[in-house]
Amino acid sequence: MTLQQLRYFCVTAEVLHYTRAADLLYISQPSLSYALSKLEKELNMPLFEKQGKQITLTAYGAEFLPYAKRALNELSKGQERLKELRAPSAGIINLGYIYSVSFSVLPAFVDQFYAHLGSRQTAFRFHQGMAGGLIEQLLNGSLDLLIAGKPDIDSVEYLPIASQELFLAVPAKHRLAAKKAVTLSDVSDEQFISITHDALIYRQIADKFKEASFSPNIVFEADEYSSIAASVTTGAGVAVMPRLPILDTFNLKLIPFSDVPMTRDVCMLRYRLHNMSPAVQGVWEFAEHVSEQYQTRKT
């Protein structure tokens, strides 16, 4: 059974006329009749029957028709999908991101990418989550790319694309709340509430403290910033965190640091061992361009 035979059968079943079907298929009527006869012999069932000058589908032909149509339709979808994969800008990209970049870095990057592309042929499926779980998805192929902090996994390639300032979060009535900026010496006696060790931002904050020879008194950890903000509001401790819209719902103050550059790199990540589709390759190459500009500004 060939695709050509299936196509001939579907067209003939549609018009129920050999001559008209042959014209639509741009073949001779004998060629059409021969192809349909071979199909019937292979199936060992008559697909058409003559009624005078007209032809009709047999019960077998009527039963077989929807399957033939579905087969041709699925193959057509497959061909279209391959065309998408060949096109450098078309396709669907599974892009993961951590919550703290969803209000600034992520929308800015996507808008800049579309402006660079000059169209919106590339479609994104967005996946928000915790860094650890998102990296697992990156490694197993569920995600094509990920926007998060700097990883420490050799098989994960990263491009710094933006900077995110980190602030000291204190209760609204804290002794430091009225200050426009703080130093590490201002908080040397404070108890700290920290993001968990497996969060990428934890290591970046720890590195900043280590560079400044500062050892915070961490009293406990939480796995997301709303929990940290709630704890800070109760006076359980202070915390270092990026500015997030959700923090507006808490009675706390965010204060910048004046003596240390308390920022972290936000990166585009990909798994080195996975092949990139043309669409993913296009986004990664744009991220390389953004990274070059970002690092030039830093220096």
What is the average pLDDT across 226-247?
91
Please give the mean pLDDT across all residues of the chain. Answer: 89
How far is Cα 105 from Cα 278, in angstroms, rounded to an integer?
23
Domain with CATH 3.40.190.290 in the chain: 93-299
Q: How confident is the model at residue 173 (pLDDT cuts 50, 70, 90)?
A: very high
Q: Which of 2-6, 156-160, 228-232, 287-291 has the lowest mean pLDDT?
A: 2-6
Reported as a single tens digit per residue, the pLDDT across 176-218 is 999 999 999 999 999 999 998 878 888 889 888 988 899 999 9
Number of Cβ within a 10 Å radius of residue 231: 19
> What pLDDT is stored for residue 258 in this prediction?
92
For 128, the 3-state DSSP assignment is strand
For 162, the 3-state DSSP assignment is strand
Q: How much is the pTM?
A: 0.67
pLDDT at 298 over 80: no
> What pLDDT is stored for residue 67 in this prediction?
92
What is the average pLDDT across 136-161?
93
Which residue type is seen at 260? V
> What pLDDT is stored for residue 78 in this prediction?
83
> What pLDDT is stored for residue 119 in this prediction?
78
| CATH, domain range 93-299 | 3.40.190.290
Q: How confident is the model at residue 117 (pLDDT cuts 50, 70, 90)?
A: confident
Domain with CATH 1.10.10.10 in the chain: 3-86
Residue 19 burial by Cβ neighbours in a 10 Å radius (0-12, 13-18, 19+): exposed
Q: How confident is the model at residue 80 (pLDDT cuts 50, 70, 90)?
A: confident
> What pLDDT is stored for residue 86 in this prediction?
59
> What pLDDT is stored for residue 84 in this prediction?
59
> What pLDDT is stored for residue 87 in this prediction?
56
Reported as a single tens digit per residue, the pLDDT across 25-40 is 889 989 989 999 999 9
- CA separation (Å) from 151 to 58, 128, 230, 295? 64, 17, 28, 17
pLDDT at 73 over 70: yes
What topology does CATH give the domain 3-86?
Arc Repressor Mutant, subunit A (1.10.10)
What is the average pLDDT across 266-270?
96
Q: How confident is the model at residue 112 (pLDDT cuts 50, 70, 90)?
A: very high
pLDDT at 85 over 70: no
Closest CA to 169 of 146, 147, 193: 193
